[in-house]
Structure 1
Amino acid sequence: MHLALDLSFAHTEGRWALPGSFVGRAFPDPRLYMELAQVADRGGIDLLFFGDGSGIPSTWQGSIDAAVAWGVQWPRHDMSPVIAAMSTVTERVGFGLTYSSTFMHPFYVARLLNSLDHVTGGRIAFNVVASTRLADAQNYGFDQLMEHDRRYERMEEFIGVCKALWHSVEPEAILRERDTRRFADPAGVHPIDHDGEFFKVKGPLASLPSPQVEPVLVQAGASPRGIEASAAFADLVFGFGANLAGQQRHRRALDEALVAKGRDPKRVGILWDLQAIVGATDEEARTRKQAVLASWTEEMVGVALSHNAGYDFSTLPDSFRLGDLREEVIRANATPAGLIGLLVEEYGEDHLITREEFFEHGFRSATGVDHMLVGSAATIADQLEENFAETGSRGGYMISSPLAFPAGYVEVIELLTPELRRRGALAEREPGQRTLRDVFAS
């Protein structure tokens, strides 16, 4: 199995104040991440991942106040400069960066990722997302969210343009002939002349081909349309790890979609999202878990749930049918996946749920309890080995820590990783694996 660390929220939701957090340094000081990157590089972590959102959560009660007060999913910075800094002090670990195909332009993103792939020596992954958050949309001139399936149509065209740009300069075209002073062969540099529904791009990319040419492409859509998009272009998929039945359904649906696209399902792994609290003993880990959960307020839960779904859950009535809520969320062009989708799967559309019950489930979702492993390294390794086998033995895990940054992540690296390596369960780098694509293609 491959292991990645999700650093998207390492500094939010109060982690900065917990015991074990950095003292004397604060986000966004790049040295916070450079030091952890060195530990991860030595420990055999394959990928350090940054999700992104460009708006302060404002869906809950139509205001940013609660998110600002409690530090819920904010502040968020563009982490590309931090990745560049981390790459200078590491040799092996890869870096995942997120940009929205719903709002960004493919030429800008393709050019930036090409540059980062050069800087990192071929260690960049691009997590392309279809955005579901109104707070982000309003920063790019949108008054409402784009319709769900249209977001994925735009994503597929976006990636098509990026791929064409990355391949618009052939590696063999770069000559660098010192005696003639001829730099490149014009026959190997091609405009792409793209004129599509969403984008018009002349090209070519005014950059040299990067070590990977294309970064490792990552996608996380769990809806039928999202899985179809994953099958079209993703090298690696992120999946929600809340329950085994859901994981197995996702794996089967992705495999079927890959076959329909003429691709080999064995070559596309899923990194299952989970949180981990690793302790020296099971009891120590459980004690830490309770301390983390006690740090969440009801308002923090409401902010996180509403922002992630793109729907204001403060407006919920005292009781309602799950199917009615899902339909209302769909009409708002928000996302019916995540918590709502899981509840519908578990209880059915006709299930009547109270507002209090919904927020009890929401607490488990927002805090990560519903996909949190807690225990000693041996206990968690047992669970991961079993789950890895039952979900197809392709991919691995995207691990985040609800504990302080960096202490929670360091314990994952220094306690869990050696235990998995001792068992022979961890994917190890081979001498010829130079780029991140080499690692995940093995």
Structure 2
Amino acid sequence: MKNNPPSRQMSLIAFMQAQNCTNYVGSWRHPASMSDFMTPEYYQRIARTLEDGKFDMAFFDDRLAMPDIYGDDHRETVAHGVRCVKMDPSTILMAMAAATTKLGLGATYSTTYYEPFHVARLFGTLDLMTKGRMAWNVVTSLNDSEAANFGRDEHLEHDLRYDRADEFMEVVQGHWDSWEDDALILDKANDRFADPDKVHRLDHSGKFFKSKGPLPVPRSRQGNPVILQAGSSGRGMAFAARWAELVFAAYPNLEVGKKQYAYFKNAIAEAGRDPAQVKVAPAVKFVVGESEAHAQDKLALAMSTARPFDGLALLCEVLNVDFAARPYEKPFSDEELASISWHGLRDKVIAKSGKKNPSVRDFVEASGRGTVAEGPNFVGTPTQVADQMEEWFNGACDGFVIQALHTPGSYEDFVRLVVPELQRRDLFRKEYGGDTLRENLGLKRPQPRDWRRAQDALLAQKAKAV
């Protein structure tokens, strides 16, 4: 007799980087980390492990410059290996796709430094070539170093970036709607390749973009790539509520997580969307061992790989501020704080330090950037780790973004030790539910112009309320 699947299961996403380390800089120094990160085999090895563990997706974060804001110099960053290698993730995803058949694959592309047509065509093609397994992580980028690499004098102001990103999304979604599902005919005998009445021009003309169309890429079996987003500021969460289908969260603890989860799900509903069709997954570091003592030993080894410069370089990168030119104890003024690029991290430091105007020291200590202390951390035996995951899953999230402290061992440990315990508790699948990323995430396949109808309905509802 076939058992009915549980009504709700976790989503598991691996947090990847196309660089010399994971998101934890010290990982490259770990004695068990592989060093062939410039080869396809490195990423394919991880991809096969994740697919064996039935992960939903491997997702790549990205920046468009190495962390060189500290002291306005890249030399120390290169010397210490602080994320100084940054390859294009979309190319690496194709190598991983060739080694897998079910694993979802996500890449980060910026709405500030790319064009909508480029992104629509790239990700539409990737979705076809992976048979419906692609996701696009939408970011607005962070700092002046990225701006300089694209010929700009400075990075766009925070809210203006999101205004641009909103229109960017409208153009990309519009291009993905170019082809109706049944537009292709492929009738060789009668010379009918496709129905021209089912292929549409966009003719967009807005504040930031003009784009004609139609996109020369037909729709994939999952409709279009899944939209990922990680906005943590008020403006960023509003953007995510409007567009995202999977949101990466940053919770300092369970109590805050429950509040943010409820708040965000409500924001999705207010944006006229179904909260059940948007997954929320906090990023968490995992250290698991056959015994609690073994797990603590692993944690201590990972912690020993951090260096003081790591945090300074990474903070300058994400805040777009040069700490090298500033006294360590001097508080930031209100004006200086307002100019900081990453509002979410700034607000986190203010809250955690209890200071309205924190100093460089406060940013280093309260953020934990570049160290294992930048939590949360789930550490222990498979049972202990699964207990923590289950507690968070019941009220604070729909799944987890798994951060590795070394590669490929962190992922191998998780798949070997934690996944079977989650499966035993009926919290995670034993087999993939489908072939596309949407199917495995439990997301509906969008029809052309679904997003536009939802936006029009929301605008009509707001107008009626007024």
Fold similarity call, TM over 0.5? yes
**1:134 has 2:144 as partner:** yes
The 3 A distance-change label for structure 1 pair 368 and 129 is: farther
**Structure 1 residue 143: Cα displacement:** 1.2
Which whole-Å CA distance do the structure 2 matches of 1:358 and 1:344 have between them? Answer: 8
Partner of 2:11: 2
Counterparts of 1:92 and 1:205, CA distance in 2 = 27
**Whole-angstrom CA distance in 2 between matches of 1:106 and 1:350:** 39
Which structure 2 residue ranges, 5 or more long, are not aligned? 1-9, 444-466
Partner of 1:387: 392
8 Å contact kept, 1:311–1:329: no
Mapping of 1:19-418 within 5 angstroms? 19-22=31-34, 26-321=36-331, 324=332, 327-332=335-340, 334-338=341-345, 340-350=346-356, 355-362=360-367, 364-369=368-373, 370-391=375-396, 394-403=397-406, 405-418=407-420
Contact 2:70 2:316 in 1 (8 A): yes
Q: Cα deviation per residue 1:151-198 (whole Å; 9 max; x = unaligned)?
A: 111111111111111111112111011321310111111110011111
Residues 173 and 185 of structure 1 are in contact (CA less than 8 Å); yes or no, is this contact kept in structure 2? Answer: yes
In structure 2, the CA distance between the partners of 1:56 and 1:289, relative to structure 1 (3 Å rule), is same
Cα distance, 1:203 vs structure 2: 0.3
1:15 pairs with 2:27: yes
Check conservation: 1:329, 1:335, Cα contact below 8 A.
no
Counterpart of 1:395, as a letter, is D
Distance 1:204 1:20 in 2: 49
Amino acid at match of 2:401: M
Q: Is the 8 A contact 1:10 1:401 kept in 2?
A: no
Root-mean-square deviation (CA), in Å?
2.0
Whether the 8 Å contact between 1:3 and 1:397 is mirrored in structure 2 is yes
Distance of 1:374 and 1:245 partners within structure 2: 18
What is the TM-score normalised by the length of structure 2?
Answer: 0.87
1:17-62 Cα offsets, whole Å, 9 max, x none, are: 422223xx61220111112211211111111010111211111111
Q: Secondary structure at the match of 1:398?
A: strand
CA contact (8 A) 1:280 1:376 kept: yes
Separation in structure 2 between the aligned mates of residue 388 and residue 199 of structure 1, nearest angstrom = 40
Q: Percent identity between the aligned chains?
A: 32
Partner in structure 1 of residue 456 of structure 2: none
The alignment partner of 2:327 has SS state of coil
Q: C-alpha separation between the residues in 2 aligned to 1:276 and 1:326?
A: 36
Per-residue deviation at 1:378? 1.3
The Cα shift of 1:217 comes to 0.3
Q: CA deviation at 1:374?
A: 1.7
Query: TM-score, with normalisation over the residues of structure 1?
Result: 0.92
**C-alpha separation in 2, matches of 1:237 and 1:326:** 30
Q: What secondary structure sits across from 1:286 in the alignment?
A: helix
Q: What is the CA-CA distance between 1:248 and the residue it aligns to?
A: 2.7
The aligned residue for residue 441 of structure 1 is: 442
Q: Structure 1: give runs of 5+ residues left out of the alignment.
A: none
SS of 1:273's partner is strand
Q: Give how far 1:99 is off.
A: 0.2
* CA deviation vs aligned residue, 1:118-167 (integer Å, no higher than 9, x gap): 11110001100011122211111221110111111111111111111111
